[in-house]
Amino acid sequence: TIKRRGSSFLASQKINLEAILFDCDGVLADTERDGHRVAFNRAFAEKNLNEEWGVEQYGHLLEVGGGKERMTAHWDQVGWPDSMKTDRQEKVKELHLLKTRIFNNMICEGSIPLRPGVLRLVDEAIQNGVRLACCSTSSVDAVTNLIQTLMGSERAAYFRIFAGDMVKKKKPAPDVYLMAVTEMGLDKSRCVIVEDTSIGLAAAKAAGISCIVTKSAYAAMEDFSGADMLVDELGEETTPGVTVDTLTSLLKVPSI
């Protein structure tokens, strides 16, 4: 039986936080509405596709994890553009690469800032020897560029990145988190996942790892009843912001 224990119990048992596993979009930066959506629309325009995803519409499209999967599910439902009706999988892949290049340019231009408290928590984790990973359905290039550009190369060196097509099943499947645990040699009971969507929370729960949810623009009204903690943001200040101690208090250890 796994039970939630407070930080005093964890301290007495010398249970320390081993790793923080961050989602990317919506957690590190609120990228979906004004980043990925805009990049998709610019890619559609460059390919002369009669397609433009509105703000509200994109919120619904996010119910499908992964950009290639999102485009495929959308066109399976509404009909494929004439120029995409043959070699669909290859053309979707090509379109997604274009979209990723556009998105990366937006990151480099400084169009999308980090969310409040991200750098503070990352720095605290590094200072305390807590390992870091980013586990995302976005492409490896997009995630790497975002971390490198917005956090700097020194912080980025501490991150392991598990993203894109590194796993066959994307969130809400737990595969990307389980890959991180396996590849990094982590103890699941000493890790905390930071997510912003019900899809990501479902992946965390399926992986059997504690999860804190930081509400993002699109997902703020979703059902997060399974979260170990729910906050509006990580917070720029340590009080009342989320700290390493806060995350340590969420760890689950076997009852004795």
Instruction: Give me the active site residues, please.
Output: 23, 25
Residues 6+ apart with CB under 8 A from 66: 137, 170
| Nearest alpha-carbon partner for 41 in 57, 25, 53 | 53
Cβ atoms < 10 Å from Cβ of 245? 14
DSSP symbols for 44-67:
HHHTT-S----HHHHHHHTTS-SH
| Token code pair at residue 192 | 């905390």
CA 13 to chain centre: 31
Rounded to whole angstroms, the Cα distance separating 209 from 174 reads 10
Rounded to whole angstroms, the Cα distance separating 198 from 211 reads 11
Which backbone phi and psi does 64 adopt, to 5 degrees? -105, 120
CA dihedral 184, 186, 191, 195 (to 10 degrees): 30
Query: In which region does residue 26 sit, left (phi positive, over 0), alpha (psi from -120 to 50) or beta (all else)?
Result: left
User: Do β-strands 19-22 and 131-135 pair in parallel, antiparallel, or remain unpaired?
Assistant: parallel
